[in-house]
Chains A and B, each alone.
Chain A
Amino acid sequence: MATEFNLTTHVEVDHQHDHDHEHHEEGFIRKYIFSEDHKMIAKQFLFTGLLWAFLGGAMSVIFRLQLGFPDLELGFLKPILGSWIDETNKLDPNYYLALVTMHGTIMVFFVLTAGLSGTFSNFLIPLQIGARDMASGFMNMLSFWFFFAASLVMFASLFLETGPAMGGWVVYPPLSALPEAVPGSGSGMTYWLISMALFIISTLLGGINYITTVINMRTKGMSFSRLPLTIWAFFLTAIIGLLSFPVLFAAALLLIFDRSFGTSFYLSDIYIGGEALHHQGGSAILYQHLFWFLGHPEVYIVLLPALGITSEIIATNSRKPIFGYRAMIGSMIGIAILSFIVWAHHMFVTGMNPFLGSIFMFLTLIIAVPSAVKAFNYITTLWRGNIIFTPAMLFSIGLVSVFISGGVTGIVLGNNALDIQLHDTYFVVAHFHIVMGSASFFGFMAGVYHWFPKMFGRMMDAKLGYIHFWLTFIGIYLVFFPMHYIGIAGFPRRYYSFTSFQAFNTFADLNMFISVAAILTFTAQAIFAFNFVWSIFRGRKAPLNPWNANTLEWTTPRLPGHGNWPGKIPHVYRWAYDYSKPNADKDGFTDFIPQHIPLSQTPHSNLEYENELMQKQNVTDDLKVNE
């Protein structure tokens, strides 16, 4: 009781503090650049993330040109790529690897971690739990600027004479440790490591903030069992990140030591460039363990926010409560815990002890169960709903589809006997691009379409949104589904060309098809870019609650200022999913009852336990008054 009371007084104090602010407008720099307002920081993450997404996508188009049209002269790319195109107008194989590496790094870390989690955790946590801002606005600001610094360093590495990192996004040593092995392992790799170190700091600063804010700053009545699933997802994501990113930091640090200070953590018994190196006793496998201890949870770091966003959007636009709210939380917690004990399924054929391989196969296939539960619950939420296909809803339904399609192939790869053949083939590429890449990207897009009105006070054009969705949805299946075929045929990933081998001398037509589909899908994103930029300035002004949603962010003004609510922070009396509640019309509501509506206003539609709860609350309120 005492804590509850403290919390409310705290809120009141904040509110006073905010009134002071309204009188003197913040300067340009404090408002738009070094802002401590979570909404502005979210937009900064969003813009940076989207820019990276287009750059990362463009890179994939270039290497798809190489894979789909191996005989094509790429001289016309010289103005952009310079010496990456060699004298014969072909893409240099080293720079092919550089493009693949940068595409992976950018997409996984900068777009789907910072862009997705950074944008929506920042934007939605305070707005949906009823807080004025993050626990530490300053740390939040630092989080963005560390990310920005990481971005700059990574971007700068593209212009190095020896090129950026070329060892694949996993940068396994010894390849990444030895400049003699590949030119990108010179300065390019140093830049990569510095950039990642900065990025990890950014993630940790953000994560600590998200966790603290969710635990401490929920408005009155916003218990954990009433949190929207978005917040649950961001909360668990932040915990996973906080526990796993430091391990990547350690891995990177040891690699820096091996590269620059002559240690032998990862290196042993190496003869390269005509001489035997002094390194002895290190283990290349150690790096892989450390890397995948982050690397696998990372999959869920990019996926869980997308799933949380989807839960919210599917419930809202089906006009139905999310099915199995508690099961959804349970499965997310299950996924979060299991994500830490499955990492070595990336290493079945590294020479790791086969017994460990068996253990990790068991653990890996267990994680399929909570994932399946989530998929079933989404589908059941659609059942007997009254579905409105907003662009956000389309992307959410698309997400569930790709989550399933990519998820089921995980059952094949998680089985180590089958992984022997398929490991590091295009089957893996297809699997994770669908389940992690596409699903998270769809979640990202769904979130942008859904919360754009709250971010910019204007609506995006819905019809362009529909076109964008259908082109992207069809495009993504056309690009990644055929990769399963190529993978089953044994084609290894990260190959510059397949002509050297009889075994991989087929499917030239299919590779061409994939490349064409990839280029078209990428081009279709221009529709989004136009819609996004145009709508920020010229979009229709948004109503206060355009999707008739229940969560607290829609109780703020059209363009909430720093502090979010001009008056008191609303209290919360119910969960976020009172959609189409029976008898709501008798209480004067349509098909939704927002979270801040007291139970006493809805006597007809209250469920039995809610009536009991209300009575209990009345008694305690009376006691308080008597005191």
Chain B
Amino acid sequence: MSGLIIGLVAALILVILFMLFRIQALITIAKGGDRPVGTSNKVNGALMLIVPIVLLALVAWYSPIAARNFLPEASSVHGVVTDNLFWVTITVISLMFLITNAGLFWFAYKYQYKEGRQASFFHDNTRLEVFWTIVPAVIMALLVFFGWKAWSDITSEPPKEAMVVEIMGKQFAWQVRYPGVDKQLGSYDFRLIDDVAGNEFGIDFEDKKAEDDFLAREMYLPKGQPVLFKIRARDVLHSVFAPHFRLKMDAVPGMPTQFHFVPTKTTEEMRSQLNNPQFDYEIACTEVCGRGHFAMKFKIVVVEPEEYRKWYAEQPTFLEQNPQFKGKGLSDLRKKNLAKRNAEQMKEQASL
């Protein structure tokens, strides 16, 4: 019933609008046709000033409110650098935006049609063209230079003493592995992955380096020390995004990637600084990966280095928790596969 009433009201409104349109059209015809430069031109000309100014006022009013949520507090060394570069760039482009849009709308308003005025036959000026080719080129060159310096630092070789953490993306969760006491991650192979048995990483336990590796439900990181993320995926593309560390890197099946950085604030420090006792560092996924893409959360806890060392030492290794994998690896898998194939061949021959 209510649907019918809504439909009727909507139809009525449309009819009224249509009548208005017809009346307007008839009046125009009665006035002697639609002159292209009548009152409408003046109205449009005025709107060329009014609309941009109103929109700009909206931006000016809202931006400070929105700015509270901008670029969540940078908590890495390079993050401070890129944040500064970001705000410098934003200032430069805001100026460009304001100057050019102001010119556009002001000229549109100022030079609206006037009876008897002749437009200027101004069609070329090499000096002007050169001027506004060079000015943007110089501005770009400067921005590129600083961006390139920052990028080169961020993507440089990771320091040797960096703490290694492996992050693996899968549908739809992140999983994290630490290298254990030897500080070296054991090798892995996707064919060794077995969700049922519990080897979700596909760790090769024939590799001695793997024996002390441990998995973590929350990622602990030491403050003020270089950290190296070793990033991979085991099904589709994912992307590690840790907004507070200004860190993003795709996780690609078959192609390990990496990103190194230095966290600068512990979780506790952030909590008191932001006045938010619930604050936590998070990792999100930023490469569309399917149904659960929007919920791939992993928690990071940044602590003082001593606390980190204590936590690190307390973690039980994967093998301690899953002793059945000890010594199981690629050659074991090969043996199993070979046996399976032989059995199949035997069966085939028998049936022949």
- The answer, yes or no, to whether B129 is at the interface (CB within 8 Å) is yes
Q: Which residue of B lies closest to A477 (CB)?
A: B55
- The answer, yes or no, to whether B322 is at the interface (CB within 8 Å) is no
- The answer, yes or no, to whether A323 is at the interface (CB within 8 Å) is yes
| Chain A residues within 8 Å of B, Cβ to Cβ | 93-94, 97, 166-168, 172, 174-175, 178, 181-182, 267-272, 274, 276, 280-285, 318-327, 349-351, 354, 357-358, 361-362, 365-366, 368-369, 372-373, 375-380, 382-390, 394, 397, 400-401, 404-405, 408-409, 411-412, 415-418, 420-421, 423-425, 459, 461-464, 466, 470, 473-474, 477, 481-482, 485, 488-490, 492-498, 500-504, 506-507, 510, 540, 547, 577, 579-582, 591
Given contacts A387-B112, A412-B90, A489-B69, contact A405 B101 (CB under 8 A): yes
Partner pick for A361 among B69, B148, B293, CB 8 A cutoff: B148
- The answer, yes or no, to whether B211 is at the interface (CB within 8 Å) is no
Please determine whether B246 and A421 come into contact, CB atoms closer than 8 angstroms.
Answer: yes
Please determine whether B171 and A462 come into contact, CB atoms closer than 8 angstroms.
Answer: no
Given contacts A276-B193, A464-B21, contact A540 B292 (CB under 8 A): no
Partner pick for A323 among B63, B108, B124, CB 8 A cutoff: B124
Q: Which residue of A lies closest to B63 (CB)?
A: A485
Please determine whether B253 and A269 come into contact, CB atoms closer than 8 angstroms.
Answer: yes
Please determine whether A501 and B278 come into contact, CB atoms closer than 8 angstroms.
Answer: no
Expressed in whole angstroms, the minimum distance between the Cβ of B190 and any Cβ of chain A is 4
**B286 contact set on A, CB distance < 8 A:** 423-425, 492-493
Q: Which residue of B lies closest to A422 (CB)?
A: B86
- The answer, yes or no, to whether B1 is at the interface (CB within 8 Å) is no
Alpha-carbon distance A73/B291, docked complex (angstroms)? 20
Given contacts A361-B148, A379-B104, contact A324 B85 (CB under 8 A): no
Please determine whether B151 and A361 come into contact, CB atoms closer than 8 angstroms.
Answer: yes
Please determine whether B190 and A271 come into contact, CB atoms closer than 8 angstroms.
Answer: yes
**B253 contact set on A, CB distance < 8 A:** 174, 267-270, 284
Residue with the greatest number of chain A CB neighbours at <10 A, chosen from B52, B246, B247, B252:
B252
- Cβ < 8 Å to A, chain B residues 182-236: 190-191, 193, 195-196, 202, 231, 234-236
Please determine whether A389 and B112 come into contact, CB atoms closer than 8 angstroms.
Answer: yes
Expressed in whole angstroms, the minimum distance between the Cβ of A170 and any Cβ of chain B is 9
Please determine whether A365 and B144 come into contact, CB atoms closer than 8 angstroms.
Answer: yes
Please determine whether B41 and A424 come into contact, CB atoms closer than 8 angstroms.
Answer: no
Expressed in whole angstroms, the minimum distance between the Cβ of B161 and any Cβ of chain A is 21
**B55 contact set on A, CB distance < 8 A:** 474, 477, 481
Alpha-carbon distance A409/B90, docked complex (angstroms)? 8
Alpha-carbon distance A495/B279, docked complex (angstroms)? 22
Expressed in whole angstroms, the minimum distance between the Cβ of A395 and any Cβ of chain B is 12
- The answer, yes or no, to whether B47 is at the interface (CB within 8 Å) is yes
- The answer, yes or no, to whether B254 is at the interface (CB within 8 Å) is yes
- Give the 4 A-B CB pairs with smallest separation, nearest first: A268-B254, A351-B257, A354-B155, A389-B44
Alpha-carbon distance A361/B155, docked complex (angstroms)? 14
Given contacts A385-B119, A580-B121, contact A175 B289 (CB under 8 A): yes
Expressed in whole angstroms, the minimum distance between the Cβ of A86 and any Cβ of chain B is 12
Please determine whether B291 and A93 come into contact, CB atoms closer than 8 angstroms.
Answer: yes
A–B Cβ pairs within 8 angstroms, 10 of them? A318-B111, A318-B119, A326-B124, A350-B250, A411-B140, A417-B81, A462-B34, A500-B294, A510-B66, A540-B29
- The answer, yes or no, to whether B137 is at the interface (CB within 8 Å) is yes
Alpha-carbon distance A482/B66, docked complex (angstroms)? 9
**A401 contact set on B, CB distance < 8 A:** 52, 101, 104-105
Given contacts A349-B249, A388-B36, A417-B82, contact A494 B288 (CB under 8 A): yes
Please determine whether A351 and B122 come into contact, CB atoms closer than 8 angstroms.
Answer: no
Please determine whether B120 and A320 come into contact, CB atoms closer than 8 angstroms.
Answer: yes
Expressed in whole angstroms, the minimum distance between the Cβ of A270 and any Cβ of chain B is 5
Please determine whether A411 and B93 come into contact, CB atoms closer than 8 angstroms.
Answer: yes
Given contacts A268-B253, A320-B121, A379-B103, contact A417 B290 (CB under 8 A): no
Alpha-carbon distance A481/B284, docked complex (angstroms)? 24
Please determine whether A387 and B113 come into contact, CB atoms closer than 8 angstroms.
Answer: yes
Partner pick for B254 among A282, A390, A490, CB 8 A cutoff: A282
Alpha-carbon distance A524/B294, docked complex (angstroms)? 31
Alpha-carbon distance A276/B133, docked complex (angstroms)? 55
Please determine whether A181 and B250 come into contact, CB atoms closer than 8 angstroms.
Answer: no
Given contacts A404-B97, A582-B121, contact A421 B243 (CB under 8 A): yes
Please determine whether A388 and B37 come into contact, CB atoms closer than 8 angstroms.
Answer: yes
Q: Mark B265-289, 1 if CB is under 8 A from A, else 0.
A: 0000000000000111010111111
Please determine whether A415 and B85 come into contact, CB atoms closer than 8 angstroms.
Answer: yes
**B125 contact set on A, CB distance < 8 A:** 323-324
Please determine whether B152 and A358 come into contact, CB atoms closer than 8 angstroms.
Answer: yes
Please determine whether B123 and A322 come into contact, CB atoms closer than 8 angstroms.
Answer: yes
Alpha-carbon distance A282/B255, docked complex (angstroms)? 9
Please determine whether A375 and B100 come into contact, CB atoms closer than 8 angstroms.
Answer: yes
Alpha-carbon distance A466/B97, docked complex (angstroms)? 25
Alpha-carbon distance A272/B238, docked complex (angstroms)? 14
Alpha-carbon distance A394/B36, docked complex (angstroms)? 13
**B121 contact set on A, CB distance < 8 A:** 320-321, 579-582
Alpha-carbon distance A493/B151, docked complex (angstroms)? 23
Alpha-carbon distance A357/B132, docked complex (angstroms)? 27
Given contacts A382-B111, A474-B51, A494-B288, contact A412 B93 (CB under 8 A): yes
- Cβ < 8 Å to A, chain B residues 136-188: 136-137, 140, 143-144, 147-148, 150-152, 154-155, 171
Expressed in whole angstroms, the minimum distance between the Cβ of A524 and any Cβ of chain B is 12
Expressed in whole angstroms, the minimum distance between the Cβ of A519 and any Cβ of chain B is 15
Given contacts A417-B151, A503-B72, contact A175 B288 (CB under 8 A): yes
Please determine whether B47 and A470 come into contact, CB atoms closer than 8 angstroms.
Answer: yes
Q: Which residue of A lies closest to B132 (CB)?
A: A376
Please determine whether A182 and B124 come into contact, CB atoms closer than 8 angstroms.
Answer: no
Q: Which residue of B lies closest to A180 (CB)?
A: B235
Please determine whether A269 and B190 come into contact, CB atoms closer than 8 angstroms.
Answer: yes
Given contacts A409-B93, A501-B284, contact A372 B136 (CB under 8 A): yes
Alpha-carbon distance A358/B147, docked complex (angstroms)? 9
Please determine whether A488 and B96 come into contact, CB atoms closer than 8 angstroms.
Answer: no
Alpha-carbon distance A10/B236, docked complex (angstroms)? 58
Partner pick for A580 among B24, B120, B241, CB 8 A cutoff: B120
Partner pick for A463 among B24, B79, B291, CB 8 A cutoff: B24
**B72 contact set on A, CB distance < 8 A:** 489-490, 503
Q: Which residue of B lies closest to A170 (CB)?
A: B288
- The answer, yes or no, to whether B57 is at the interface (CB within 8 Å) is no
Residue with the greatest number of chain B CB neighbours at <10 A, chosen from A274, A489, A540:
A489
Alpha-carbon distance A424/B238, docked complex (angstroms)? 12
Partner pick for B252 among A284, A418, A473, CB 8 A cutoff: A284
Q: Which residue of A lies closest to B246 (CB)?
A: A421
Alpha-carbon distance A18/B137, docked complex (angstroms)? 52
Q: Which residue of A lies closest to B235 (CB)?
A: A272
Partner pick for A386 among B85, B119, B193, CB 8 A cutoff: B119
- The answer, yes or no, to whether B48 is at the interface (CB within 8 Å) is yes
